[in-house]
Structure 1
Amino acid sequence: MVSSDFPVAAPPTTRPVWLIIAVLIVADIVSSIESSMMLVALPRLIEAFDANAADVSWVITAFLLVAAVSAAICGRLGDIYGRRRLLIILLLVSVIGSIVSIAGGTLASVVIGRAIQGVSGGILPLCFGLAREHLPAKRVPTAIALVAATAMLAAAIGGLMSGIIIDNLDWHYLFVAAGVIAIVAAAACLALPKSTIVARVERIDYPGAVLFTAAIALILLGVTKSATWTWADGRTAGCIVGGILVLAAWIRWELRTDSPMINIRMFARRTLAMSMAAMMSVASGLLGGATVVLPMIYINPTGAPVGLGLSATTAGAIGAATTVIAFAAAPISGRISARVGSRWALVVGTGLGIAAAVGMAALNATVVGFVLAAMVALLATSFVSTSLPNLVVEEVPAENTSEMTGVITVVRLTFTGVGTAIVTLLLSLSVVPGTQFATTTAFNSVFAFIGACCVAGLVIALLIRPRSHRTSAVPAPTPAVGTEA
């Protein structure tokens, strides 16, 4: 058995461990709810503003673009200037986004408000950094697993909350609820210990921030809009290729500057680089693929080649129940990370993903069989979503925790979009003539894609070199003379 790779101690604090973890979970709930709350509201916005679906979809796209950039940049800024302070700022800015969406009275104002809300994408990496900064080493893996898994649970809660509000109230109340939750979370964050980080005097890498923002925005825009624009549209290829070129220019700049926005030299570390590669793979398959086909198969009529004919309410209830079970498994992933290393938690997750892909292909004719396969898929998602941030935390210095977990969050968001686009394309390649339903062959190709992504993730996990009997890549943070206000 290998020993934990996490810091051997944390700065002394009078706050109970359970309180710190609870506050971090509450903060993470804000980001997760805001990311999912508008999905069921799109038809209502189309009606309210007499707009088309393509225009209204910008309330999703605008949030996603800002969230991806915020995850990396705010993670870095939190490492430099103090994570607690920045976390509270992001929560309050997201409240401003809700106010703009409510008060504007136009679709454009809702899109702008959602873009402002997107800064909450930086919350998760800040929570990871705060967990490492303030918790005892033996509690860090489980805390990170719980915070990471909260995203799954809160997304389901957000969808349920949105459905109830849309069915009974005006869509404006979605933003009222989001704003209230964010205010409560910001107040709760005052209970966190003051940071031991002393604000460092560093030149902010503005060119790097601009290039990174442009690159990620272009790539994500091309990927997320591919279903609307189609892959044959020049705008799709233009955005993706342009984004890749800007990303290459950003990498060159970051390697030349003395104070980079993101220290990409750290990717020379084998474990860190392979963790990012594993995230690319599993995000494309499990996060991007399974999340598309599961609700589709639930709701498709029994007369379709693949469909169970469930009502939306029943499908939602099954989704919520299986998500709760997956969340409950998060501490198991954390304990595996603490006892034998996060590499093995990732091995378990990708192995479950392979089993889920086989199960979805073989058991989609019955509700019970497919629900069991879906449950395995969500358990796999829970394990990979919690083990990969822990792998990053094991590898990087404490002062880079939020920065690098922010990067892996960007990778997750980007490749989830890539996986969704690929699965949508695969399903569109073979449909029953005269209908919109994909054939069995199309669904089998999706299951094969999900399985292949999990196999790739498993191979990468097995190639990661386990640390042997050493306490940490870096020493634990020590109390500083000056602290964050």
Structure 2
Amino acid sequence: MADTTEKDTAVHGEHVETASGAVTMSEAEQAVYHEEEGKVTLKTKLAVFSLIFMYESYLFTLIMPAAILTYINADLGPDSNYSWIAISWNLGAAVIVTIGGRLSDISGRRWFLLFGAGAGVVGSIVGATGQSINQMIVSGVIFGVGGGFQEMCFACALELVPNKYRFRTMGVMIMANHFSSFGPLIGYAFVAYVKPGWRACYWWCFAWEATAFILLFIFYHPPTFERKHEDDHKTKLDLLKELDYVGLLLFSGGCLIVLLALSWGGGQYPWKSAGVIAPLIVGFASLVALGFWEAYMPLKYPILPPHLFLQWRKFTSFLVVCFVAGMLYYSMNVIWPRQSALLWIPANNTITRGVYSNLVSFGTIMAGWYMIGVAPWVKHERWQVISFITIQTALIGSLASVGINDKIQAIVTVVIVSMTNLPPSPLSFGMVSLHLDDQTDIGVAVGLISTFRLLGGAVATAIYTAIQTTRYTQLLPGEVNAAAESSGFNGSFAALLIAAKTNTAAAYAKIPGISNATIAATELAVKEAAAMSYHLVYFVAIAFGALSIAAALTIKGVEESSRTGHTAVHLENDVHEGLKTVD
């Protein structure tokens, strides 16, 4: 007998078509096969559990550093590039997840995931021992590379379970992120009560990633390279010769250059300067060249398979939906902690800052309950996606009107926006996986959706941070000037403006002749400037939301006939009679 693995297995009378060809089954064996089809074995459950634990681990590396960026910058900076500690995660993961998905489709997934968890361990150590913002950015890059491989967990889990359980499995994975959802609050607790401060967050990530590595090593045994190529007899050297190196260079280089330009705009360089325009042109030209290269070159394993992009309703429209979903999901983990801290929470109230930062994750927790308890029962996934995106876009309009006295409005809106923002992505993962004509494409297909989702997060974090910083810089002098005039301040305005940028008691105390009234008025001016600067960020987000709604209206729903008991892949070590065939 030989295990049925990645190829479809179909019963025709007394024959079964497998990766090794047609074989004959007895009536008793057929009965066992049909009884076992659609069941999930203990070993599969343990493998999925290890994937879920890894998912939690890499979410900690994403969420915790992003929540405590200001503390890292205060300790090791100040450095205007500190936001790249978070941006580098999204960029690294965005590039790697598609590459990892493609390579694992053709060579096996196990060692890619183990490498991802190992990179998480290394990134944690680099961050925990960081002595400069540049070193912390390196930690973010390593986290991003590891996270890109670990983001493959969705495709890995989907192919291990029967088709009819794919949406439920997505629900379990999202539901399981309750631990990482408290990452911001845990991070702020470390800052407030633990001697290593923010560095404890990285040691926390180290513990999770190390445990994930061990669990994967023990329980996750997908089809090996040899099993995947038992028909074509390709070697690893053959594979290396056939990889799309030009596509990889154009994709990674184009994305990196564009994101660098977006990050520089309005900060290090004016938007109209050559330092921004030239990289944007080069980056976009690289991505356009990539499209032509993938479409017209006779590539054995293209990084971006053209046949997938030709299926707009089954695949390409999902890229747009998840790109915009990622823009809000990932950027909110950076934007909201900074916004809430600036507007409503004193600098010395660390735990409260942690609670506010965690509001995004509270919405994610609610989304997890929905994904496991409601989404699989409701079905009609297309309309679920459309509804969530429409509600999310409408509520962003509420955030665009938040002022310094609208704290309750902001809290409620952020939670609901976060809740409605998450489900479209796992729903898309499941829908695309069931739309595939060939399940051997599941890694690259789901990987591309993850890439666009993560790339959307990196783009949005760069764009929104640049917009807010630029607008805040423009508004602050006028607001501080008005505060100085209203409080009767006669000292140096330049010194007051510098103190306002820091906005700490120590900075104000250094200004000769300053009064408590001027300090209070200036602190209020800082909040007003910050509130107005975030208005523009959310107005821009509304425009992207409208684009996502238009794309969602074109996606194709899941046909009931695809919700079968068929399983795309069986574990190498999962030996049971119902999933074996006669040689």
Which TM-score band applies after superposition, normalised by the shorter structure? Answer: 0.7 to 0.9
Change (3 A) 1:294 1:106: closer
Residue 209 of structure 2 is aligned with which of 155, 164, 182?
Answer: 182
TM-score, L = length of structure 2: 0.70
- For the residue of structure 2 that corresponds to 1:38, the secondary structure is helix
1:281 lines up with 2:331 in the alignment: no
1:326 lines up with 2:339 in the alignment: no
Residue number in structure 2 paired with 1:304: none
Decide which structure has the larger Cα Rg and report it: 2
Contact 1:287 1:416 in 2 (8 A): yes
Residue deviations 1:274-294 (CA, integer Å, cap 9, x gap) = 11112233334x336655664
Q: Report the alpha carbon displacement of residue 469 of structure 1 after superposing the two structures with TM.
A: 3.8
Amino acid at match of 2:256: A
Residue 417 of structure 2 is aligned with which of 363, 372, 377?
Answer: 377
Residue number in structure 1 paired with 2:30: none
Q: Distance in 1 between matches of 2:538 and 2:125?
A: 42
Contact 1:299 1:312 in 2 (8 A): no
Amino acid at match of 1:260: P
Change (3 A) 1:290 1:182: closer
1:92 lines up with 2:114 in the alignment: no
Q: Distance in 1 between matches of 2:310 and 2:9?
A: 21
Change (3 A) 1:363 1:228: closer
Q: Distance in 2 between matches of 1:346 and 1:339?
A: 12
Q: Distance in 1 between matches of 2:154 and 2:294?
A: 24
Change (3 A) 1:247 1:16: same
TM-align CA RMSD: 3.8
Amino acid at match of 1:238: A
Change (3 A) 1:159 1:398: same
Residue number in structure 2 paired with 1:235: 275
Residue number in structure 2 paired with 1:213: 252
Change (3 A) 1:425 1:99: closer
Residue 189 of structure 2 is aligned with which of 146, 161, 164?
Answer: 164
1:83 lines up with 2:109 in the alignment: yes
Instruction: Choose 17-26 or 120-129, whichever is displaced more.
Output: 17-26
Change (3 A) 1:308 1:349: farther
Residue number in structure 1 paired with 2:562: 471
| Paired residues for 1:52-91 under 5 Å | 52-54=78-80, 56-91=82-117
Contact 1:138 1:338 in 2 (8 A): no
Change (3 A) 1:246 1:150: farther
Contact 1:326 1:382 in 2 (8 A): yes
1:298 lines up with 2:340 in the alignment: yes
Residue number in structure 2 paired with 1:451: 542
Residue 458 of structure 2 is aligned with which of 408, 417, 429?
Answer: 417
Residue deviations 1:49-79 (CA, integer Å, cap 9, x gap) = 5x54135555444434322221111122222
Residue number in structure 1 paired with 2:292: 252
Amino acid at match of 2:367: A
| Paired residues for 1:368-447 under 5 Å | 368-396=408-436, 397-424=438-465, 427=468, 428-429=470-471, 431=475, 433-435=478-480, 436=526, 437-438=528-529, 443-447=534-538
TM-score, L = length of structure 1: 0.82
Residue number in structure 2 paired with 1:33: 60
Q: Report the alpha carbon displacement of residue 403 of structure 1 after superposing the two structures with TM.
A: 1.5
Amino acid at match of 2:283: G
Q: Distance in 2 between matches of 1:239 and 1:345?
A: 39
Q: Distance in 1 between matches of 2:41 and 2:122?
A: 33
Amino acid at match of 2:365: F
Q: Report the alpha carbon displacement of residue 91 of structure 1 after superposing the two structures with TM.
A: 0.7
Structure 1 unpaired stretches of 5+: 1-5, 302-306
Contact 1:337 1:345 in 2 (8 A): no
Change (3 A) 1:400 1:382: same
Q: Percent identity?
A: 18
1:128 lines up with 2:173 in the alignment: no
Give the length in aligned residue pairs: 471
Structure 2 unpaired stretches of 5+: 1-7, 11-35, 481-525, 575-583
Q: Distance in 1 between matches of 2:316 and 2:215?
A: 35
1:347 lines up with 2:347 in the alignment: no
Change (3 A) 1:337 1:300: same
Amino acid at match of 2:549: L
- For the residue of structure 2 that corresponds to 1:354, the secondary structure is helix
Instruction: Choose 71-80 or 457-466, whichever is displaced more.
Output: 457-466
Q: Report the alpha carbon displacement of residue 248 of structure 1 after superposing the two structures with TM.
A: 1.9
Change (3 A) 1:150 1:249: farther
